[in-house]
Structure 1
Amino acid sequence: MELRVFDETVEPLGLIDEMASLLWHVKYFDVGTFNLLAPITDNNKRLLTEGNIIVKHDGKREVTDTAGGIWRRAAQITYVHITKDENGLEQIEAQGYMLSQWLNKRCISPQIVTTATNQSIINTMVKNNCGSSASTKRRFPRFIMLAQENIAGSTVEYANEVYAKLGQEVKARAQAGKLGYDILINERSRQYGFYLYKGKDLTAKNSEGNTPCIFSRDFDNVNEQEYTASIENCGNFIYIQGAADDSGSQPVTTVDGEGASGLELTEVFCDATDIARKYQSGETEVTIPLNTYLQMLKTRAAAELENYGKIINFVSTINTNSNLKFKQDFDLGDRITCKETKWGIQIDARITEVTETYQKGAEEIEATFGDSLPTLVDQIRKVR
């Protein structure tokens, strides 16, 4: 495995010559991160500076476009910390984010009001705010939209909060549509590409004819497993309130997720006053018809209700010498089957996160199946 370093114009700067450890953490629904610890050498000190781009080459399968171009995940260094211990050992620590973090450099402007699939909405957001349809000042340089499959999905009424962060809205629509995304790099063409995709169904009983991918200690392809199930934050019926109209009346609608009643019914509330009743179309102020506005509220409500489902989290440390190879037999975003016979557990779940750890010449892969447990920040946002 080698780490290549580039500047933001994708000009190659060199290779990291020595490394103590690397944690490369990629996510399906969100922005990935990395953490690199290396000894201080003249070369490392030159390369590991904030703003530079790191690309990992480890022989694993990458994304290939129709012209044969190879696209890889990459990360930008955003934090550098240099230390010297009591024994005189000097080390440099570099941290940063996968390139999809760049989406949060933009606010959505103008506001998007549309009826479309989540795939179409995401593509419109990106094109209008940092892609080819954005003004010259707002475009990301060397940036294109990578070719995508036509991903099936229902049509929804959508309107974003005025000047919402692009990255946050892309994440929300990706979660709603069960889609993965990132910004990849092509070192040869010196380009960046927005990558939107849906993982394959590799579950034990998949109907797509794919070879099943089953993780179980019975098959010696996992070293450690950890299972968590939680209903502490469950909800299956949501009230949602929108912005006031000219008379001051605030519309309220509901989404019933499961048709539950009695003790099985758990109600939650969402304040969606950020979804404006009016928007600008050129020089004209347009008032959204009530029926359309109520459908927009239902779209938001359905997405919010996704956050209140039962949390099932299955974390496995994968045996890298087993029958299943990362990026060969399975990849981030694929749906697979997890099985633990002694615990009486078998679930079909999506691979939502993968952490690759390189240390002392050895590689370890940890995969998260299902949903990560909510962070404190997520919980605070839900309270609000």
Structure 2
Amino acid sequence: MDNVELRVYDKELTPLGVIDEIASLLWTPTYWNEGTVGDLKLLVPMTENNKKLLKKGNIIVLHDGAADYTDETGNWRRGTQIRYRHITKDAEGAEQIEVQGHFLKKWLSKRIILNKIVMTGTEQQKINRIVTENHGTGAATKRQFKQFVILAQEDLGGSSTEFAYEDYTDAGKEIYNRALAGKLGYDILINENTRQYGFWLYKGKDLTSGNSEGNTPSIFSRDFDNVNEQEYTESDEGSKNVMYATGAADENGTAPLVEVDQGGEGIDRDEVYVDMSNISRQYTENDVEITIPEAEYKKMLAAATADALEDYGETVSFTAIINITSNLKYGEDFNLGDRVTCIEKNWGIRIDVRITAVCLAYQNGTKEIEATLGESLPTLIQQIRKVR
């Protein structure tokens, strides 16, 4: 792990130093998940330097290969914030420090959507508006993130839909929902030279075997010796293909009902109902209360229902431990968020899936990469949406 370096900063991005010897490091960025404590897991020997650097609230930036994003101001990299610290001493007197933290995208949940947003636009436009008005220059001064910019973006495509964001919604969760709907990745990156944070919204490349964009395909298969271990899981438990939803009642007390139907008849039709009365018919703009026209309101309700139905899709997961000495190099031939092809002839599997998480594991002087392609299965606390 000679080329691996962990640089530590305070929240103002003042350089504090570099971590000494690393016993174990798990660095797990995700494409669209919100960020959670456990994204970073670090175990190091107790030294005066490490004890000084590894404090709650400090920021860690991994240097191991190319930057995540580059513009005219320099390189931008992902960072994690330390939120947990544990110190141990064994029977032989050896002391170790364990820290855990989350990627900085988790900070987006430090804000709520303070003012209702009613708009028509792509998921990219919706996300940028949420960030601008609640974290960036469009927010009140005391709500603005310091040293924060929105990084330049290309047009990420997608269809334009009507939508209304309820007042006081968790901004981070809504950004996650919009990113998932648009199949977009995002994070907050760090520019160590300019000492800035940058909101990064992007879309992974299509590297599947039949891609029409002219990209060199990335194909993962034991036949190509680029996969050491792998697991495949598919599940349609809890899946639904029809959703009924009711919105807020009008002045006569009548609540509109919408139906979103993905197809299916007889026993192949799986229905579910959701109450969407929290989508208000009114919003305030320049201190004037505005009522959304009935036709526009029903379009918004239908769009929200279609998004909610995505929560009930089938799940497909292909987890692979990648051979780092193989023909495909992480950060060069493929990246987090790219769509790739996975083939396992013995299992009769050939699928095109997105890389939704990458775990970089450094331990005992070795490096290992585990990629999650598609989605992990739903847990009791999170219903994972289908990757299309």
User: TM-score normalised by the shorter chain: which range applies?
Assistant: over 0.9
Residue 36 (str. 1) matches residue 39 (str. 2): no
Aligned mate of 1:350, from 349, 354, 374: 354
Contact 2:19/2:49 (<8 A) preserved: yes
* Alpha-carbon displacement from aligned partner over 1:338-363 (angstroms, at most 9, x marks no partner): 00010010000000111110001111
Q: 1:332-371 counterparts in 2 under 5 A?
A: 332-371=336-375
Q: 1:131-142 counterparts in 2 under 5 A?
A: 131-142=136-147
Secondary structure of the structure 2 residue equivalent to 1:377: coil
* Alpha-carbon displacement from aligned partner over 1:30-56 (angstroms, at most 9, x marks no partner): 134111111111111110001100000
> Match for residue 227 of structure 1?
232
Structure 2: segments with no counterpart, 5+ residues: none
Secondary structure of the structure 2 residue equivalent to 1:103: helix
* Alpha-carbon displacement from aligned partner over 1:180-229 (angstroms, at most 9, x marks no partner): 00000000011110000000000000000000000000000000010001
> Match for residue 63 of structure 1?
69
Q: 1:37-56 counterparts in 2 under 5 A?
A: 37-56=43-62
Aligned mate of 1:165, from 167, 170, 175: 170
Q: 2: distance between equivalents of 1:233 and 1:189?
A: 48
Contact 2:86/2:97 (<8 A) preserved: yes
Q: 1: distance between equivalents of 2:303 and 2:51?
A: 49
The residue identity in structure 1 corresponding to 2:22 is M
The Cα shift of 1:293 comes to 1.2
Bigger drift between 23-32 and 69-78 goes to: 23-32
> Match for residue 195 of structure 1?
200
Bigger drift between 153-162 and 173-182 goes to: 153-162
Q: 2: distance between equivalents of 1:379 and 1:70?
A: 35
* Alpha-carbon displacement from aligned partner over 1:151-173 (angstroms, at most 9, x marks no partner): 11111111112200110000000
Secondary structure of the structure 1 residue equivalent to 2:303: helix
> Match for residue 217 of structure 1?
222
The residue identity in structure 1 corresponding to 2:322 is I
Q: 2: distance between equivalents of 1:364 and 1:212?
A: 22
Contact 1:162/1:274 (<8 A) preserved: no
The Cα shift of 1:283 comes to 1.6
Aligned mate of 2:16, from 13, 17, 20: 13
Residue 264 (str. 1) matches residue 268 (str. 2): yes
Secondary structure of the structure 2 residue equivalent to 1:167: helix
Residues matched between the structures, number: 378
The Cα shift of 1:68 comes to 5.4
The residue identity in structure 2 corresponding to 1:310 is E
Contact 2:6/2:63 (<8 A) preserved: yes
> Match for residue 83 of structure 2?
78
> Match for residue 285 of structure 2?
281
Structure 1: segments with no counterpart, 5+ residues: none
Secondary structure of the structure 1 residue equivalent to 2:382: helix
Contact 1:61/1:328 (<8 A) preserved: no
Q: 2: distance between equivalents of 1:15 and 1:44?
A: 8
Secondary structure of the structure 2 residue equivalent to 1:26: coil
Contact 2:43/2:96 (<8 A) preserved: yes
Contact 2:312/2:383 (<8 A) preserved: no
RMSD: 1.2
* Alpha-carbon displacement from aligned partner over 1:252-277 (angstroms, at most 9, x marks no partner): 101112x2111111111222122111
The residue identity in structure 1 corresponding to 2:15 is P
The residue identity in structure 2 corresponding to 1:28 is Y
The residue identity in structure 2 corresponding to 1:87 is E
> Match for residue 238 of structure 1?
243
Aligned mate of 2:309, from 305, 312, 316: 305
Q: 2: distance between equivalents of 1:210 and 1:161?
A: 40
> Match for residue 93 of structure 1?
98
Contact 2:34/2:173 (<8 A) preserved: no
The residue identity in structure 2 corresponding to 1:89 is A
TM (norm. structure 1) is 0.96
Contact 1:162/1:276 (<8 A) preserved: no
Query: CA 1:68–1:220 in structure 2 vs 1: closer, same or farther (change >3 Å)?
Result: farther
Q: 1: distance between equivalents of 2:265 and 2:375?
A: 26
Secondary structure of the structure 1 residue equivalent to 2:197: strand
The residue identity in structure 2 corresponding to 1:73 is R
Secondary structure of the structure 2 residue equivalent to 1:212: coil
Q: 2: distance between equivalents of 1:191 and 1:361?
A: 32
> Match for residue 28 of structure 2?
25
Contact 1:31/1:97 (<8 A) preserved: no
* Alpha-carbon displacement from aligned partner over 1:49-85 (angstroms, at most 9, x marks no partner): 01100000012343111x1510001111111111222
> Match for residue 374 of structure 1?
378
The Cα shift of 1:308 comes to 1.3
